Structure 1
Amino acid sequence: MRTKDRVTLITGAGQGLGKAIAMTFAREGAKLAINDVRFNENQALETVAELRELGVEAELFLADVSNEAEVEEMAKKVLERFGRIDILVNNAGINRDGLVHKGDKTKWDAVMAVNLTGPFLCTKTVLPAMRQQKYGRIVNISSVTARTGVAGTGYYATAKTGLIGLTKITAAENANKGITVNAVAPGYIKTSMMTNYPEDVINGIIAKIPVGRFAEPQEIAEAVLFLAEDSSGYVTGSVLDINGGFHF
């Protein structure tokens, strides 16, 4: 089992990609600390119940990742419950569309708070424990929008590009402590965030993807698992593109 007994904190794991990652790690024997925000508590509790049905330890830790006090309290509770944090997956994210020349600072601030400040706060909060135990795996969920220009994604793409920068510098600062820090940059995934768009928009996006479809959440989760397991210890500061050939 590739992550057996590894204590894994996954942010935004109540649904969508985060849930798929949690389920994948559970099948590989991880102990799961599931994070989500309070307004998604019921769905997150259902996810925890499904994880427990797989026979693994799983607990829900409610926190807004953009709130430093809540992140610190969450990490404290995870350490009290499990005794260590081996793996952090910075998955929590929100999206707001908008053209730069019509930019809305309120939307900009909201996206930056969750998608970039959130991973920064979670990372800096768990690093002392990882550095002390001389082991850690951090995987950040970036995006294809950080790798290529996609009109209308200015807030989201900028935050996800910043996350790649955070990945690389954190990897460099912690490589000699047994800690790896990597990112995946998924293309378009079949989650509620995407499937809620109008059908003509969805069809237009799919037409630009060489593989001809959205990714299944499980396909992204498997890549996260690879970066989080023990055998990936020589991979750090990397960005893994998983986009069905959408490079333009």
Structure 2
Amino acid sequence: MSINSVKGAAIVTGAAQGIGKAIAIRLAKDGYDMALNDVPGKEDLLHTLADEIISQGRKSTIIIADVTNEKSVVEMIKRTVSELGILRVMVANAGIALTIGTEFLDTRLEDFEKVLKVNLMGVFLCYREAARQMVQQGTWGRASSVNGKRESHRDEHLIFFKEKKNNHYRAAAEMKKYGITVNAYAPGYIDTPMARQALSVNENLSNEEIRQQIIQRGSSSSGLAVNLGTPEDIANFVSYLASEESKFMTGQAVSVNGGVFFG
């Protein structure tokens, strides 16, 4: 692709580090101008990422916003279109996790509520507002989000992922008539700062040492070998979801997990 060929604008939430950062870099390489979102306190990381994207010949704008706040999400969409042009892609990547190893009976209500707001409400708001903009534009669009493919003792406990999936499928069913696809990526064990925080492990541990921590803590319930992936492994798949080539795929939640479980 020519360095001057621009596909449109893409938004990545939770873009400051980890999977979000890798997705933003990959989509910029694919030809999208990037709106980079994260929460207050991540400004320095976002500026470094924006500089990298600009060095690739793409435009980039930084939007500090809370994805659980409706007004903030509406403003994020407006700023993206104003500064970067037609919105083609929304990647609702922002998410948080409970500390791995936290027992159900020990889970605090305030922690669970925070997970619900970011991982469920945040995705809903990003999907809805991006879809409204894409429908108004009258052009094809792509929406994708991070998701959990199966319920386990680590899926933030019990059933809210079922509701997240229901919203995901409903959005896909309603948006396909507008040429907007809605899909989700379900990462396996990925070596990211958030994963290390959730595991409460030393940031200096090697990839293999973290893998052993996962096994020792019983966080893999499949009985299969644990493969620890990289953020780029997820970004490669999101690149396809964001492309025009994925136009015949919608309403899917695809596991990208190195074979931790199948199905």
Both proteins in one fold, TM over 0.5: yes
Answer whether contact 1:147 1:247 (CA < 8 A) is retained: no
Answer whether contact 2:9 2:81 (CA < 8 A) is retained: no
Show the counterpart of 2:194: 193
Match of 1:205 among 214, 218, 224: 214
Match of 1:105 among 98, 105, 109: 109
Listed one character per residue, the Cα deviations across residues 94-138 of structure 1 (whole Å, up to 9, x for unaligned) are 112333233321011111111110111111112122112231100
What TM-score, normalized to structure 2?
0.85
The one-letter code sitting in structure 1 at the alignment partner of 2:141 is G
Are residue 220 (structure 1) and residue 229 (structure 2) matched?
A: no
Show the counterpart of 2:48: 46
| Deviation at residue 228 of structure 1 after TM alignment | 1.2
Are residue 119 (structure 1) and residue 118 (structure 2) matched?
A: no
Structure-2 separation of matches of 1:77 and 1:70: 10
C-alpha distance 49-211 of structure 1, shift in aligned 2 (>3 A):
farther
The one-letter code sitting in structure 2 at the alignment partner of 1:233 is K
Show the counterpart of 1:141: 146
- Compare 204-213 and 188-197 and name the one that shifted more: 204-213
Q: Tell me the secondary structure at the aligned position of residue 224 of structure 1.
A: helix
Structure-2 separation of matches of 1:134 and 1:55: 24
Structure-1 separation of matches of 2:151 and 2:164: 15
Structure-1 separation of matches of 2:8 and 2:159: 32
Answer whether contact 2:97 2:156 (CA < 8 A) is retained: no
| Deviation at residue 194 of structure 1 after TM alignment | 2.1
Structure-2 separation of matches of 1:212 and 1:83: 42
Q: Tell me the secondary structure at the aligned position of residue 9 of structure 1.
A: strand
Q: Tell me the secondary structure at the aligned position of residue 86 of structure 1.
A: strand
The one-letter code sitting in structure 1 at the alignment partner of 2:191 is K
Are residue 27 (structure 1) and residue 32 (structure 2) matched?
A: no
Match of 2:244 among 220, 230, 234: 230
Answer whether contact 1:164 1:183 (CA < 8 A) is retained: no
Are residue 10 (structure 1) and residue 24 (structure 2) matched?
A: no
How do residues 28-177 of structure 1 correspond to structure 2 at under 5 angstroms? 28-97=30-99, 98-132=102-136, 133-143=138-148, 146-149=149-152, 151-155=153-157, 158-177=159-178
| Deviation at residue 5 of structure 1 after TM alignment | 2.1
Answer whether contact 2:227 2:260 (CA < 8 A) is retained: no
Q: Tell me the secondary structure at the aligned position of residue 191 of structure 2.
A: coil
What TM-score, normalized to structure 1?
0.90
The one-letter code sitting in structure 2 at the alignment partner of 1:100 is F
| Deviation at residue 46 of structure 1 after TM alignment | 1.0
Structure-1 separation of matches of 2:196 and 2:243: 31
Show the counterpart of 1:178: 179
Consecutive aligned runs of 4 or more in structure 1 exceeding 6 Å deviation: none
RMSD of aligned alpha carbons: 2.3
Q: Tell me the secondary structure at the aligned position of residue 42 of structure 2.
A: helix
Structure-2 separation of matches of 1:239 and 1:153: 15
The percent identity for this pair of structures is: 32
| Deviation at residue 59 of structure 1 after TM alignment | 0.8
